[in-house]
Chains A and B, each alone.
Chain A
Amino acid sequence: MSKKEIKNIIPPTEDTIEKEYHILNLGPTHPATHGIFQNVLKMDGEIIHEATPTVGYIHRAFEKLAERRPYAQITPITDRLNYCSSPINNFGWYMTVEKLIKAELPKRAEYMRVIIMELSRIADHLICNSVIGVDTGAMTGFLYIFQWREKIYDIFEDICGARLTTNIGRIGGFDTDFPAKTWDKIRNFVKEYPKALQEFANLLERNRIFMDRTVNCGSITAEMALEYSFTGPNLRAAGVDYDVRVANPYSSYQDFDFIIPVGTSGDTYDRFMVRQEEMWQSLKIIEQALKNMPTDGPTHANIPDFYLPPKQEVYNNMEALIYHFKIVMGETDIPAGEVYHCVEGGNGELGFYLVSDGGRTPYRLHFRRPCFIYYQAYPEMIKGSMLSDAIITMSSMNVIAGELDA
């Protein structure tokens, strides 16, 4: 029989051919996922049929650790949640404790916090957005815009001595006012950064190749996003204008005039554009804070029982030495109570649920980590898309391993 005749005997049909899928292990350490994420993908050729994420590779038991630590020592733990914008986590934690002990901060300290938080939001968003560029093949934006992140980190370094895991300020406010040269650095940043950001925007925002790669890639509807408890830029990209800074203002955000950008289709391009616009709005907030800030006055609340006194006073003043000793040794008891406080973190509503039984440590501390909650929608978002689209969907969701695994 010839080949043609053999073919005719058993014609292949849907029933006789069993569909076979290819299993692809993406991660845990894959250069394209920017962090330790594992996804076991069931592939139909280049199309993703099913994805199973595995999380927990850098789980460090923060909630358990927090049950043994005095309040001041929990701040370094919060640094390591979303390490792209540590100051927001630090201040969120301070505000939770301040809510529990009912501390009132002076306006100046609150405005200083707003400046630092908005700077870290810019740092967070510019990492995310430039990395979307890298994943679509545009390395230039990433290399160019990263020097501005360095400038933000220089400002953090002046204030607290650290760049990435900042541990900035303390419960009740700041240890000192910012140095004069740091104020100049902040003013300079606000003046110079728009030019760089505009160049970065020109590079990507209306770039044909970039738009072809990102429009309609990894979309999520507003209903689905709410169902999955999305918050932050990812929710706003889907068209829901929820921002904690506006809904439940903290740290004097009600004094500022800014816009909450929203997208329409919740795809990678919208998430990118929402973050771009938020950087402009953050600059606007910093400008207003610099302009309207009280020029002098205390930079911390008047709560000697909980506020770690400045070193200068500790060495020269008996009272300060006693308070320092009591706080550092964990001898000051925090009142019993339970609070939930949330701040708008780099990628969503960062919440702290704190239960205190009146001891030196929290009885229970739970972090509401936005990444952990919205990453569970990832399999649904990439189902039926190409592998390369799954990579940029993940980078546009801004999943940070430290926050995901706590």
Chain B
Amino acid sequence: MEKAELLELVNTKLKEKFHGSIESAELLYDFPVFVINKEHIHDVLSFLKNDEELNFHFLTDLTGFQTPDEKHLGVIYHLHNMGKNFRVRVKTFFPMANPEIPTATDLWKGANWMERETYDFFGVKFKGHPNLKRILNVDEMNIHPLRKEYPLEDQTRDDKSDKMFGR
């Protein structure tokens, strides 16, 4: 099936069931991408997994994202139906003041560590996660390092600034 057809198919099915909670649906390179309202993300994922025709039974990847305005966080899911070779990307965004979304561990066990990693690096709180604590960083760390407000290098240093090329 062509990717554009897949986008159309998933989009029609989602619109039928969750009208109004789909913020956008587009084809980015070879992936149909859906942005879903935070309120319905768990229902949408559960629908995509359990629908007979779509059957996205495999969670390829789950990761976090911060929007450039530094006011919103996002979670990005890559889903896969291996039998029909359907792949979609589902995204959801929510304000940084209240970074709380429902967990996907009840749908896929493999989401456990991926959600812990997302919590560790972005501070997204997954509601209902069985063991939400840091995974790669030390427990004592009090920041979420992949957020853009934490620069990679010590900002008090000026010996490394790129004045010559103005970047």
Contacts and interface: CB of A to CB of B under 8 A. Distances in A.
Contacts of B66: 364
Nearest to A65: B152
B136 A353 contact: no
B61 interface: yes
Nearest to B120: A56
B59 interface: yes
A21 B38 CA distance: 44
Contacts of A329: 165
B31 A59 contact: no
B146 A64 contact: yes
Interface stretch (B10-18, B94-102, B108-116): B108-116
A282 to B, nearest CB: 22
B96 to A, nearest CB: 16
A59 B137 contact: yes
A338 B109 contact: no
A61 B29 CA distance: 28
Given A99-B29, A339-B28, A373-B110, A229 B60 contact: yes
Nearest to B165: A329
A357 B82 CA distance: 31
Contacts of A59: 136-137
B134 to A, nearest CB: 8
Interface residues of A, number: 47
Interface residues of B, number: 37
Nearest to B150: A64
A65 B153 CA distance: 10
Nearest to A57: B136
Interface string A368-405: 10001111110000000000000000000000000001
A56 B136 contact: yes
Interface in B8-39: 28-31, 33
Nearest to A372: B113
A29 interface: no
A355 B68 CA distance: 11
A263 interface: no
Interface string B156-167: 000000000101
Nearest to A241: B82
A247 B89 CA distance: 17
A351 B152 contact: no
Nearest to A52: B131
Contacts of B109: 224, 227-228, 376-377
A275 interface: no
A229 B117 CA distance: 15
B137 to A, nearest CB: 7
Given A240-B82, A337-B29, A63 B61 contact: no
A55 to B, nearest CB: 6
A340 B110 contact: no
B47 interface: no
Contacts of A366: 61, 63
A323 to B, nearest CB: 16
15 contacts: A55-B136, A59-B137, A68-B152, A227-B109, A228-B109, A229-B110, A338-B28, A351-B78, A353-B78, A366-B61, A366-B63, A368-B60, A373-B114, A376-B110, A377-B110
List the 4 shortest-distance A-B pairs measured between CB atoms, nearest first: A229-B110, A56-B136, A59-B136, A376-B113
Interface of A: 55-56, 59, 61, 63-65, 67-68, 99-100, 224, 226-230, 240, 242, 247-248, 329-331, 337-340, 342, 349, 351, 353, 355, 357, 360, 363-364, 366, 368, 372-377, 405-406
